[in-house]
Amino acid sequence: MERKNAWKLCSKKDCQEAFALSEDYRRFISDCKTERECTLESIRIAEENGYRNLDELVKEGAKLKPGDKVYAVNMGKMLALFNIGKKPLQNGMQILGAHIDSPRIDLKQNPLYEDTDLCLLDTHYYGGIKKYQWVALPLAIHGVVAKKDGSVVNVVIGEDPSDPVVGITDLLIHLSQDQLQKPGAKVVEGEALNVSFGSMPDPSAYPEERPDPAAEENSDAADKKKDGKHPVKAYILKLLKEKYGIEEEDFLSAELEAVPAGPARDYGLDRSMVMGYGHDDRVCAYTSLRALLAVPEPEYTGVCLLVDKEEVGSIGATGMQSRFFENTVAEILALTCESYSDLLLRRCLKNSCMLSSDVSAAFDPNYPEVNEPKNSAYLGGGFSFNKYTGSRGKSGCNDANAEYIAYIRKLMDEEHVTFQTSEIGKVDQGGGGTIAYILANYDMQVIDCGVPVHNMHAPWEVVSKIDIYETTRGYIAFLKGGR
């Protein structure tokens, strides 16, 4: 059984639309490199399309009716959008669920220090990364600093062309004989992922004329007396104070991330692909959002769920294992039903269908040995479905029911969506997981699906524009689908 390349099934109009959609997406991931930035931009887009904040509707005591559009946000890092359908909510929803966190380098709470006249930032990597891929790259700093007075400062350093960038140094090849004997996981150690942040004392303290190096006032002792014990760090703190109004202690209540600097780019001489940071899983988050906006009057309530913390187990208050989604559905039910009950909530969740919108590993001809070709996703192959994820003996997987897959196949074929099926590598090679199993705990039907990716979890990942397009079309077909 063979699946055709999606480009070969395109019309000229399809090709034009695929490129236009991918350009919009390219701008989205260029601007949205953290979960907070994704949430804010998604809210902006949603509000432009008529979505209202659920908290406001609850305060007003409003009632929701078919066609109403609502969103709820959780701690600035998790978002649920609802397009109220014609069917009663207890009949179930059509849910698209993606995550908006990506592997990165987080700054520690006490990150700033000086060593050999260099100012550095101590870090703790987030998610599954090959640590050696993050050295010798231009990095940017994104995030927020929460101050004791209740204000929150947004920080972005390294994205404007006039901005400086930062980075993590690598060992020169000339002295790396011992390093290169180590296994890949040890070539660069986690505690060595320290970000270079500055290298000079405050230039405003320099004398007008070059001093005499033999003079007493220019001795090391005099320098320390004049500039303090750590003059480079002191100057960095001065710059941070001037631009952002933050003190060193404010790092204690900060969430700052080092991410690849610069915009996503067209990839390939034919511009058929997009190279960018965070395709996993913002490419599925964006296509899910676009699909929800494209179906104005669904039969069943359409949902786009964007969550945090998937890369570290979906834990915490903003991960899929939190009660946010369940609580939000309860609030929506209370605004749509004459008489709310917990039983209606349970029915609503059980009767729902979900696409766990997450990327798949694309077959790479440079590394064919880790894949089984008949059951691999391919760049340009279109929308990719994974009946199961997990690792080795399907450990940690959600394994979709055959009947549900037949239903999905029918929806895709009716809308002429080009799709493929896959699994994550050879059986004993490894694997991965998604949020699918968590939603399946409500007894709803769930399957993993999304855009195939090259370089997954690397600083720069690659996706095909036609796969972005077909995935969006597939999500639209799902949201429009009946039962």
Choose which CATH entry (2.30.250.10, 3.30.450.40, 3.40.50.720, 1.20.1530.20) describes domain 104-260. Answer: 2.30.250.10
Residue intervals in the chain for CATH 3.40.630.10: 6-102+277-480
pTM: 0.94
The identity of residue 225, as a single letter, is K
Residue intervals in the chain for CATH 2.30.250.10: 104-260
Beta bridge partners of 273: 267, 464
The identity of residue 242, as a single letter, is E
- What are the b/e assignments for 400-409, b being 16+ CB within 10 Å? beeebeebbe
pLDDT for residue 220 is more than 70:
no
Q: What is the pLDDT of residue 109?
A: 96
298 vs 291: CA distance, rounded Å: 12
pLDDT for residue 219 is more than 60:
no
- What are the b/e assignments for 362-388, b being 16+ CB within 10 Å? bbbeeeeeebeeebbbbbbbbbbbbbb
pLDDT for residue 215 is more than 80:
no
Q: What is the pLDDT of residue 427?
A: 79
347 vs 92: CA distance, rounded Å: 7
Query: In which region does residue 287 sit, left (phi positive, over 0), alpha (psi from -120 to 50) or beta (all else)?
Result: alpha
Lookup: tokens for 38:
């994704």
Q: Is 49 exposed, middle or buried (0-12, 13-18, 19+ CB in 10 A)?
A: middle
The identity of residue 362, as a single letter, is A
359 vs 280: CA distance, rounded Å: 6
Cis peptide before 281 (omega within 30 of 0): yes
- Work out the angle between the directed axes of helices 402-414 and 465-480 (0-180°, nearest 10): 110
Q: What is the pLDDT of residue 298?
A: 95
Average pLDDT score over residue span 209-233: 69
Average pLDDT score over residue span 102-129: 97
Radius of gyration of the chain (CA): 25
Q: How long, in residues, is the chain?
A: 483
Q: What is the pLDDT of residues 294-326, one digit of tens each?
A: 999 999 999 999 999 999 999 999 999 999 999
Distances (CA, A) of 346 to 179, 222, 329, 398, 479: 55, 72, 10, 20, 21
The identity of residue 368, as a single letter, is P
- Work out the angle between the directed axes of helices 465-480 and 279-293 (0-180°, nearest 10): 50
Beta bridge partners of 142: 156, 257
Q: What is the pLDDT of residues 61-82, one digit of tens each?
A: 899 999 999 999 999 999 999 9
Lookup: tokens for 455:
């370089």
Average pLDDT score over residue span 210-231: 66
82 vs 213: CA distance, rounded Å: 70
* Residues whose CB is less than 8 angstroms from the CB of residue 353 and which lie 6 or more positions away in sequence, other chains included: 92, 93, 94, 95, 404, 407, 444, 445, 446, 478, 483
Whose structure tokens read 């063979």? Answer: 2
Q: What is the pLDDT of residues 130-168, one digit of tens each?
A: 999 999 999 999 999 999 999 999 999 999 999 999 999
Of the pLDDT bands very low, low, confident and very high (cuts 50, 70, 90), residue 227 is low
Decide if 435 contacts 320 (C-beta within 8 A).
Answer: yes
Question: Nearest-CA neighbor of 256 among 73, 111, 119, 149?
Answer: 111
- What are the b/e assignments for 154-177, b being 16+ CB within 10 Å? ebebbbeeeeebbbbebeeeeeee
Distances (CA, A) of 68 to 14, 86, 285: 30, 10, 21
Decide if 81 contacts 69 (C-beta within 8 A).
Answer: yes
pLDDT for residue 351 is more than 90:
yes
pLDDT for residue 86 is more than 80:
yes
* Residues whose CB is less than 8 angstroms from the CB of residue 67 and which lie 6 or more positions away in sequence, other chains included: 84, 296, 297
CATH topology of domain 6-102+277-480: Aminopeptidase (3.40.630)
